[in-house]
Amino acid sequence: MRLICLFLILWVQGAVLQAAPCGGDFKQFILDLKSEARAQDLQKKTIDRFFATAALDPTVLRMDRNQGHFRKDFLSFSAGLISGTRLKNAKRFAKNYEKYFAKAQHDYGVPAQILLSFLAFETDFGVVQGSFNTRNALITLAYDCRRPEVFRPQIMAALALFQKRMFNPDTTLGAWAGEIGMVQMLPADILARGVDGDQDGQVLLTTSAPDAILTAARLLQSFGWAANAPWLQEVSLPPNFDWSATGLDGGRTLKEWQKMGLTARHGGLLGDSQTRALVLLPQGRFGPAFLAYDNFQILFNWNQSFVYVTTAAYFATLLDGALPLGPFNPEPMLDEAQMKHLQQNLSERGYNVGEIDGILGAGTRSAVRDMQTRLGLAADGWPNQALLDRL
């Protein structure tokens, strides 16, 4: 479920058509893919074998159009992913592969806690890796005319992995969007960043935990992860805090935040006075508050969902020894219809909220905060009934 900004992969892969063809006659579509593969010097027998039993999967399209789990609020979403059992399993997994997590930290600067978060959330440490035929999923998404330019290069990458005997078009299974392995990575990422952690001559993220651990670490390093630096911590804010200063488009030094009354909920702040960070309120001023350091924003390259990234970062802090969140009583979240109505209203006022999908993403939060400021409401970025009533 690594829903990264797939469009960036086009630049990495470097062999993408400006306007990728899609739809039409499926047999001709496959022939076009074969021609593209031959132009990339892939062997004919590899190409023919790869596409021999290729088929469209209508279930993939249904999944692509229904991602309602990201409509949950942070506390509900995190409660569904974080449990005492999952924390215990993470610690057990860390112990079993201790030397590989140490190598990931040494070679790529990525701590075990962050890697364990993705291993936990993506596949429950390799237990649930998905049941979709990866080749067919990628072909279906490339054939569909929503984002063909995104998924065609992934097909070419899967072909290259097949030629290296690190992918099987008939038996490799994964998520509906084409991600595979214990950390659910796309073929182009595996091809570019794969690490043979167990030194068996192949990069197999589906069966090799060492490969998955080190490949994920290398990918995060390529995104800009800074070694030996914090990512997130819970903080406390005074009632008279300037809520408009919060959010992903803000940022101040720790010294400035402290002058505004911010304190760490437990222990001290994780940096010197000039360290810059953001204050995040995933459920408004009556919910939890976090100080998000630069590494936090790197995680959006892995998954664009605000609620997913915040939950993963928070889970990693628990593995690092942080205490669980305190009790909160945030204002109720708008339902899907209300959220879509709000997004449409904000879009018509000139705000860039992205797709009108009922999901409270970063763009909608920023627009809400600005509109709250204009209307004289507490500008905490949390859309509520009071805001709807004023629009």
Concatenate the DSSP letters of all residues of 328-377 into one string. Answer: --PPPPP-HHHHHHHHHHHHHTT----S-SS---HHHHHHHHHHHHHHTS
pLDDT tens per residue, range 273-282: 999 999 999 9
Are the C-beta atoms of 316 and 116 separated by less than 8 Å? yes
Q: Tell me: pLDDT of 283 over 60.
A: yes
18-24 contacts: CB < 8 A, separation 24 or more? Answer: 18/149, 19/149, 20/142, 20/148, 20/149, 20/152, 21/148, 22/142, 22/143, 22/144, 22/145, 22/148, 23/143, 23/144, 23/145
pLDDT of the residue at 137: 98
Domain chopping of the chain, boundaries: 232-319, 336-390
Here the tokens at position 54 are 């290729």
pLDDT tens per residue, range 113-160: 999 999 999 999 999 999 999 999 999 999 998 888 999 999 999 999
Here the tokens at position 286 are 């009556």
Confidence band of 20 (pLDDT split at 50, 70, 90): low
pLDDT of the residue at 147: 85
Q: How many residues does the structure list for the chain?
A: 391
Count CA atoms closer than 13 A to 89's CA, side-chain side.
Answer: 17
152-180 mean pLDDT: 97
Confidence band of 203 (pLDDT split at 50, 70, 90): very high
- 225 contacts: CB under 8 Å, gap ≥ 6: 108, 109, 110, 114, 295, 298
Q: CA-CA distance, 171 to 157, in Å (whole number)?
A: 16
pLDDT of the residue at 68: 61
Indicate the Cα dihedral angle 35, 36, 37, 41, nearest 10°.
90
Are the C-beta atoms of 113 and 223 separated by less than 8 Å? no
Q: Tell me: pLDDT of 7 over 80.
A: no
In this structure, whether the domain defined by 232-319 belongs to CATH 3.90.105.10 is answered with: no
pLDDT tens per residue, range 28-45: 999 999 999 999 989 999
Q: CA-CA distance, 70 to 351, in Å (whole number)?
A: 21
Q: Tell me: pLDDT of 391 over 90.
A: no
pLDDT of the residue at 64: 86
Q: Tell me: pLDDT of 8 over 60.
A: no
Q: CA-CA distance, 373 to 279, in Å (whole number)?
A: 17
Confidence band of 249 (pLDDT split at 50, 70, 90): confident
Report DSSP letters for 122-176, one per residue. Answer: HHTTTT----EEHHHHHHHHHHSSSSHHHHHHHHHHHHHHHHTTS--TTT-EE-T
Q: Tell me: pLDDT of 111 over 50.
A: yes
Here the tokens at position 50 are 């790869």
Angle at 152 between CA 145 and CA 300, to 5 degrees: 90
Q: How far is CA 260 from CA 195, 241, 252, in A?
A: 45, 7, 10
pLDDT of the residue at 35: 96
As to burial, measured by CB atoms within 10 angstroms (0-12 exposed, 13-18 middle, 19+ buried), residue 361 is middle
Helix axes 84-96, 112-123, angle to 10 degrees: 120
Q: Tell me: pLDDT of 191 over 90.
A: yes
Q: For residue 63, give the amino acid letter.
A: M
- 325 contacts: CB under 8 Å, gap ≥ 6: 75, 234, 288, 314
Place of tokens 């600067």: 109
Per-residue DSSP letter, 232: E
334-358 mean pLDDT: 94
